[in-house]
Amino acid sequence: MEIIGHFINGQLSTDTARTQAVYNPATGEILKQVAIASKATVEEAIAAAEQAFPAWRNTPVIKRARIMFKFKELLEQHADKICELIGLEHGKIVHDAAGELQRGIENVEYACGAPEFLKGEFSKNVGPNIDSWSELQPLGVVAGITPFNFPIMVPLWMFPMAIVCGNCFILKPSERDPSSTLYIAQLLKEAGLPDGVFNLVNGDKEAVDTLLQDRRIQAVSFVGSTPIAEYIYKTATAAGKRCQALGGAKNHAIIMPDADVDNVVNSLLGAAFGSSGERCMALSVAVAVGDEIADVVIEKLKTEIGKLKFGHFADKSNDFGPVITAEHKAKVITHIDSAEKQGAKIVVDGRHVAPQGYENGFFVGATLIDQVTPDMSSYQQEIFGPVLQIVRVSTMQEAMKLIDDHEYGNGTCIYTRDGEAARYFSDHIQVGMVGINVPLPVPVAYHSFGGWKRSLFGDLYAYGPDGARFYTHRKTITQRWPSANVREGKQFSMPTLN
C-alpha cells in the first residue's frame, strides 16, 4: 500500500517507523498509509530550513516574488489533480474543492506583491543631516500547523507569505488528508524554490511538540480547534516564539423580521451544509427574531433540505459529501442526540441516512433542529457537521446578547433590509468577521482573517496585511553623516528638535 511521506530539503522522504491509515470517507475504505514523523525527522527538516535561510533571506524580493508567480501558474495548471486528491481523502465535492483552491491561489497572488509591501518607510532629515527608515526583515525558520478541513487553502494562507518575506518554512499538515498538500510542495520546487526553503513533515503530537519546543523555530501559525489552539499558543509563547493560533467557532446568523426569506434560506443552506459543515466559518446557528419569521424560514428550509444531494466527491451534482472520519460522524450524531434529549425539536434528521452504494461511508445528512436554547451542550460546543440549529428570540438586542455571551467570536451575520439595524449590528457585535446579508464573511486575500475571544490566540490575524506583519520584524534605522567640520557637543538630556 502506498505510504505518504515527507518533503525535506527538496526531496521526498519516508519515515516508516510509525504509520497511520488514510481513509476514503465516502466508502470507509483505507486508501493509503501516512508516515508519522519522529522527533529526529522533524529536526532534520528544521536543520534543512536553517541551512537554507541565509541565502534565501538575501535573495532579492523580486526573485522571491517571481517564484510565487510561477507557483500560482502551476497550481492553476494542476487544479484538477489537486481537487481530486482533496476529494479522495477529505470527501469534499469537486466544485467545493475548486473553490477552496481558488481562495488559496488568491493568497499566492497577494504574496506576489511583496516588492511593494516590504518596501518599508523612509524619512529624510528627521534632524540635522539625520535620516531614518524602517525595514521589514524575515524572522528565520517558521512553522505552520494546519487542519484537515482545508488541506490546501489554509497552508496557502501561511507559507507563500512567509516564504516571500524571506523566511524558511516547516509545514505540519493534517495526517488525515495529506496527499494534496504534499503534491503542492512538489509544485513549489518545480516553480524554482531552492531546496530547504520549504519543508513538510506529516505527524502527530510528537511532531507538533518538536516544532513548539525547538529554539530554531521563531514563529508558529496554527488553525484548528480551540483547545489545541490554546495549547499551541501557550506552549509556543512560553518558548519565546511568536504565535497566531486560530481556534473554533459557533457562528450565528440573526434573521430579522424584515429579511428577504428566499435569500436567507438559500444562504443558510450553503453556509450550514456546504463542505458538510466542516468549516470554521459555517453558519451553525440561526437566531430568528420573532416566531413568525422563524416559522416561515423553518418551513422553507425543511422543503429545500429535502432537495439536497450528498454523496461521492466526483459527482458534481452533489451538494456536499461525508464527514472526515467514522469517529467524527459518531461525534456529530452524539450532538444531535443530546439536543433531542435536552428538549430541542429535530425537524430534519440526518443521523441515519446514506447515499445508495455508499452505506459504509462517513455520511451525516443535513439536519435541522428547532427550539434550541443556550443552555444546551449542542449550542455551546462546535459541532463541525451538517447541522443547523434554530434559536428563537424576541428582539435584536436579545439576539446580539446571545452572540456576545458565547465563548467564540469568529464570524456572524445579519439578514435585514434595515440599514440602521445593520449598521448598529456591525458596530457593536463582539465578533471578528461580520456579514450583512452575506452568510460567510471570509475576508478576501488582501484583507486579513481572524476572530475574537476564544476563536483567536495572538495579536495578528491570518494572511493579508497581518500576514506580512506576522512573518517579519520591523527594524528602524537612524543614520547621520556629519560634515567633517561640524562636531556635536556633549548632550545629556533627551534629544529633541526644539
> Looking at the annotation, which residues are catalytic?
280
Residue pair 45/10 in contact by the 8 Å Cβ criterion: no
E strands, 15-167, are: 19-24, 29-35, 121-127, 130-138, 141-145
The C-alpha angle 304, 322, 346, rounded to 5 degrees, equals 45
Would you tell me how many other CB atoms lie within 10 Å of the CB of residue 154? 30
Beta strands across the sheet bearing 387-393: 345-348, 367-370, 387-393, 283-289, 251-255, 411-415, 433-436
CA distance 338 to 235: 33
Instruction: Give the up-direction half-sphere exposure of residue 165: CA atoms within 13 A in the CB hemisphere.
Output: 31
| Secondary structure E strands in 118-266 | 121-127, 130-138, 141-145, 168-172, 198-200, 217-223, 242-246, 251-255
Specify the length of the chain in residues.
498
CA–CA dist 190, 204 (Å, integer): 28
Quote the DSSP letter at residue 391. E
- Is residue 170 within 8 A of residue 143, CB to CB? The reply is yes
Decide if 72 contacts 109 (C-beta within 8 A): yes
Using CA atoms, how far apart are residues 313 and 98, in angstroms rounded to an integer? 11
Axis crossing angle, helix 39-57 with helix 205-213, rounded to the nearest 10: 40
C-alpha to C-alpha distance for 180 and 159, rounded to whole angstroms: 15
DSSP structure class, residue 437: S
Q: Contact 206/229 with Cβ under 8 angstroms?
A: no
Distance CA 289, CA 396 (A): 6
Cβ distance 177 to 148 under 8 Å?
yes
CB 207 within 8 A of CB 36: yes
